[in-house]
Amino acid sequence: MKKLVSFLLVCFMMISVVGCGKSDSSAEGNKNKEEKPREERVLRMSGDNLGYPSVYTVSSKGRGYLLTSYIFDTLTWKDENGVVPLLAKEWKVSEDNKTWTFKLNDKAKFTDGKELTAEDVKFSFEYIKDHPYQWVSVDPVKEVRVKDKHTVEIELKEVYAPFITDIAGNVPVMPKHIWENVTEPEKFNTADSVIGSGPLTLESYDKEAGSYIFNANKEYFLGEPVIDKLIISKVNNDKEALEAGELDAVSNLKYGEAKQIKEAGKFKVMEGPGFWVGRLYFNFDVEEFNKKEFRQALYHAINREEYVQKALKNGAVAGNPGHIHPDSEWYSKEVKNYDFNPEKSKELLASIGIKDNDGNGIVEYNGKNLSYELITSEDKVSEAEMLKKYFGDIGIDLQVKTIDSKTLDAMIKEGNFTLALNGHGSFGGDPVLLQRFVSSKSQGSTPQVTTQGGKQWSNEEFNKLFESQLKELDNKKRYEEVEKLQSIIAEELPTLTLYYKKITFAYDSSKLDGWFFTKDGVAIAVPTTQNKLVFIKGKWNN
């Protein structure tokens, strides 16, 4: 019996040892499996060379703002449905609607490890007041007060209806400890200038190639990004680069190319509201341009549907005389329209003394043949040539001159042109964007990229209505005032709104999915799918 007990005891111990050995081996295997680093999640996108992506050194174009938004956060933001909290987790407004109190997320910090506080918010608003920033004006702000470490109070001079989106949602919060000694922000392009609190950090920028490499901010207060690295680079052909597997997402597509990609079925293609407007600018130093009948004659001379079909290959929606995009909640269809009617054009010209008196095919005004230089960018030659044909049919001669887009923007801003064909982010958000037609000082905030130099169109009724609607918090009443603004634009035509470009975006959903079009556009009407929230909320599938 003793021998049997001893034998069983030995067997039990051996089984235990072997069993434990197997258990340890299995656990070690699982441990090694878990510790094996996953493959780096690299997303490659197309983009343009937009300069160094700090607040004051990046391009004034909408995509430039997008780059800085990856690095710098604002109090509020927008997703596919509208306004959402960002640095401010909650807010409230006083009874008189002039004082806004924001509670900051106490987990937010800058990428150098320093905590983001109310002092940084106050500093950023005051810094932008002293150093004007092209994407937002803080003129409506009277004072910013720090209530405690994570509470900031912003008092306005007057009620300002678009404050929560167009100011709170656009002022980049910069670290006070870095920027407080920066006196020339437009020259500040060191590594310190791109320290922010956003979901991405800048690894490198190749000025010659115009390419960017961003890394994930692993300690982002809204959660670790679903990508590890974002590479943005310019390629010769977006469609070919996507199909060849060189890029995972592209946005510089012609509309026809996007349709071809969609039909092939390998990649997903999104088509959304194109809050990008193509328009004809007038230099009002030219005497006849100040007559609304002249501008109306030009609009009647343009077959906008044919223009969109032929010059833009159906990649746009015909322009609305009231300027606001038909997809906007502020759009009014009850405005004066202009059908394609060259005979009506000639009648309008004749009514103000513009006729072809010598039979040479060109109309005259005060003894002068009406021949004008039309400047535009190299990619709009076909559009310009169509305008030349339309205007030629009513006796107005155009001489088309093409220049690079940067020079074109500068010449319009300086007022150094006669007629200009150009475009920009148009109207995806608040009616504050109609400020581009205001001739008097205004508290409105709108991107400087849309401004026009030289003598401008002026209408006192428009100026007063614009200021009035900025203070109207009742949406129904405000809509009625904005509707009147559109009616004035449609009657007076301070610009000829030619079309709204359709926006397309193609991507490999086997990599990153969850892209969306931002409601009313990022910042002040930047139409895009490349909202930084997709890097947090999107799904990495590869």
Mean pLDDT of 152-159: 97
User: Residue length, the chain?
Assistant: 542
Q: Are 276 and 500 in contact (CB under 8 A)?
A: yes
Taking alpha carbons only, the member of 138, 137, 107, 127 closest to residue 177 is 127
User: 319: which DSSP letter?
Assistant: P
> Cα dist. 54→65, 186, 187, 531 in Å?
9, 9, 10, 17
Q: What percent of the chain has pLDDT over 90?
A: 79
pLDDT above 50 (res 15): no
| pLDDT of the residue at 426 | 58
What is the three-class DSSP state of 75?
coil
Distance CA 494, CA 496 (A): 7
In sequence order, what are the residues at sequence separation of 6 or more whose Cβ sits closer than 8 angstroms to the Cβ of residue 167? 136, 137, 138, 140, 141, 160, 445
Q: Are 373 and 399 in contact (CB under 8 A)?
A: yes
| pLDDT of the residue at 246 | 97
Mean pLDDT of 242-270: 95
Written out in words, the top-level CATH class of the domain with range 73-184 is: alpha beta
pLDDT tens digits, 68-96 = 999 999 999 999 999 999 999 999 999 99
| pLDDT of the residue at 46 | 96
> Cα dist. 84→80, 104, 219, 320, 533 in Å?
10, 13, 20, 30, 11
| pLDDT of the residue at 199 | 98
- Residue 323 φ/ψ, nearest 5 degrees: 80, -35
Distance CA 303, CA 310 (A): 11
Q: What residue ranges do the domains of the chain occupy?
A: 39-71+198-273+504-514+523-542, 73-184, 276-501
Tokens at residue 352, please?
A: 């103000």
Mean pLDDT of 373-379: 96
SS (H, E, C) 77-134: EECCCCEEECCEEEEEECCCCCEEEEEECCCCECCCCCECCHHHHHHHHHHHHHCCEC
pLDDT above 60 (res 291): yes
pLDDT above 60 (res 310): yes
Distance CA 27, CA 263 (A): 49
Torsion angle (degrees, nearest 10) of CA 274, 276, 280, 281: 160
Fold type of domain 39-71+198-273+504-514+523-542: D-Maltodextrin-Binding Protein; domain 2 (3.40.190)
pLDDT tens digits, 467-492 = 999 999 999 999 999 999 999 999 99
Distance CA 190, CA 186 (A): 11
Question: At the fourth CATH level, which superfamily is domain 276-501?
Answer: Dipeptide-binding Protein; Domain 3 (3.10.105.10)
Q: Are 247 and 241 in contact (CB under 8 A)?
A: yes
- Residue 260 φ/ψ, nearest 5 degrees: -65, -40
Band (pLDDT 50/70/90 cuts) for residue 50 is very high
Average model confidence (pLDDT) for the chain?
Answer: 90
Mean pLDDT of 122-129: 98
